[in-house]
Structure 1
């Protein structure tokens, strides 16, 4: 079972409506108020799902009724397929209701008060509903058999390298502390903990946190629940049945961790939560660093929290989340620029693969697929400390860092 705590007073999340600059200006009290408001907005989005998606199906039916009669008669399966989609919507809502029911008291040290009218469901923003629909696809990626190939492409390299660098036959893995920022629904962190390592996942999104809390703490049987994550996709379907294809989860029992395992999930902004220096043996980031307003902030935080001799491994693309968002700070750097900064901080590059193909919440039956050409690298914080506090490397350290073990 994963413990979930919230370490922040005003966690900053991409879904929240106030921006990066405003967060830096608001008082702790105002930040807490905005946090509570966002918490209940996300709860409402889970409750509003059924209404929102049924409205989309209603629109499809209205448009069908506008067709000439002889065209309608040619499409005999159109309305029956919409009926199937309506059924799937209701089944999805049942799972979402179970998630909401189990999340209201999930944080140990945050008080979000009570919903002013728990029976009333308010319309949610399109942005929040898109986030929720994306979260349903995260169940496929992290906790279904259908997501295994995707997990193997991006989680497996990280897990294998952790085992290589901290081999169970040469060290007490229970004393190896691994941090997984941007943990999503927690599968990567869970897999690491399942191998006996002390692992903590960190996540800022309430959509992810509510869902990971449910699957990690309330699911104890394999494939006991079913979602229909593709019903929102009305385009690029080869067959109508592809849209209503069920996905069962979880593919493993999340409660099957070893009895003495040390596994937890911490809620909050990565930079705000992790400020204590030199605590972690390994930081593992997967599809994470491009979520930063300023990726240099992430690099600096990782440098500070790693123990001397600790390693940072990263796999993912650079699809910057805040690019072109109004009033949001966003610094978009190439991998070449990021790598140069990492070396200037003093990290030593030990492994680099510049072309690792991977997908993200892919619908493998869709006629449209996105393939990321990811980079995978491992860098080490030298055991010998730097001279000054501003992370300026010693003479020759950057040159030494460029002598890498490169794998393609």
Structure 2
């Protein structure tokens, strides 16, 4: 973020009871990573291991198996992952909670022996606020730590490159076309929007390439994690993670399970201070609610969506929003599968009705929380985009890519992603 700014906005989530509860749950999910991972991954396995017949666990305790040694090493790797999770917790607490708590309150809450330990201070305040992570938020925190492998490790370049290279190549081609019409145009004159910015790597890469770029993200998990890496990292390779260690299935060897990676592979602040980098900003909130407003009408030259459009319950809302915020003649560049996220959500009908009435009673646009959903095929998505006045200039099927794929695993998932470029009339 330009000038080392925090994620910011007019809305204070601590002032809204429901948003406050969700935010505190997310913070607690990162704070609790160490304890929960140790319990679920090694404690329960040790208990199950010792439940084997004594002759069996005695055999497996010895080389070449050394199961107990492996569990001890796994504990060390959990602690390494937890250092990153707790750094995200601290960055998130400072960004969203700290300014709501005065020093006198903190002094009354935190034992004096912890006064100079930020993690302990923030943790004590979080307990005082009654934070308790949901199982869903705990899973998201675990996934978020692993996602650093894809977005911010050197080894993850192969996977993310398959997704990001077509975006950057199309941007370069579009810039060349514009330069042919007006040689005075610079890359910073092209305004790019990246919805679903995740951990911010595509936003960083686009900015590094010289363009003006704005990322948008709704997930507090992703917001806090991207803020840490973009704003608060002090050096390249600051953290060591083991993204595949907590999954104990389908490994060819323990060495494969315990592979570690240093993140980030670049120091964002240093990289953006050199050369001809563009300008970067971030927005927090629902893509539909933010960018369908008159304020953003015709605001961007390009919208780039990667592994994003299938997060929409109603894809028409996304298409309408992109059309609103794109300038006439602007490009929509999309790459990804159609793993419709909402299809896996199970909600009590009574809760769903209550949510619908709540949004309606306030007269608000609740964005992706709007009622209704639909799953379209790739052909149908492309037809829908064309229906709303876009011309498909390029369309490629079968772009091979994984998502946090362990290349040494006995089980791999590969997407045959769709890549298309559409120009607004």
Pick the TM interval, shorter chain: 0.7 to 0.9
Find runs of 4+ consecutive structure 1 residues off by over 6 angstroms.
Answer: none
> What aligned pairs does 1:271-350 form with structure 2 within 5 A after superposition?
271-274=288-291, 275=293, 276-327=296-347, 329-350=372-393
Mapped to 2, the partners of 1:288 and 1:268 lie a distance apart of: 15
Match 1:48 to one of 25, 28, 32: 32
For residues 40-59 of structure 1, the C-alpha deviation after alignment (integer angstroms, 9 at most, x for no partner) is 11011111111111112111
Q: 1:10–1:119: structure 2 CA closer, same or farther, 3 Å change rule?
A: closer
CA drift of 1:4 comes to: 4.2
CA drift of 1:112 comes to: 6.1
Match 1:62 to one of 39, 43, 47: 47
Give the gaps of 5 or more residues in structure 1.
12-27, 383-408
CA drift of 1:118 comes to: 2.3
Match 1:36 to one of 11, 20, 42: 20
Partners of 1:36 and 1:112 within 8 A in 2: no
Q: 1:284–1:113: structure 2 CA closer, same or farther, 3 Å change rule?
A: farther
- Name the structure 2 match of 1:118: 125
SS of 2:146's equivalent? Answer: helix
How many residues are matched?
A: 363
> What aligned pairs does 1:62-141 form with structure 2 within 5 A after superposition?
62-75=47-60, 76=62, 77-106=66-95, 117-118=124-125, 120=127, 124-141=133-150
- Name the structure 1 match of 2:280: 263
SS of 1:361's equivalent? Answer: coil
Mapped to 2, the partners of 1:101 and 1:8 lie a distance apart of: 22
Mapped to 2, the partners of 1:348 and 1:201 lie a distance apart of: 24
Report which of the two has the higher share of helix: 2
TM-score by length of 1: 0.83
Q: 1:74–1:59: structure 2 CA closer, same or farther, 3 Å change rule?
A: same
Partners of 1:178 and 1:280 within 8 A in 2: yes
- Name the structure 1 match of 2:239: 225
What is the CA RMSD across the aligned residues, in angstroms? Answer: 2.4
SS of 2:156's equivalent? Answer: helix
2:154 matched to 1:145?
Answer: yes
SS of 2:422's equivalent? Answer: strand
Match 2:219 to one of 205, 212, 226: 205
CA drift of 1:289 comes to: 0.3
For residues 111-155 of structure 1, the C-alpha deviation after alignment (integer angstroms, 9 at most, x for no partner) is 766989526396633211211111012101110011010011111
2:395 matched to 1:352?
Answer: yes
Q: 1:154–1:8: structure 2 CA closer, same or farther, 3 Å change rule?
A: farther
Give the gaps of 5 or more residues in structure 2.
103-121, 353-371
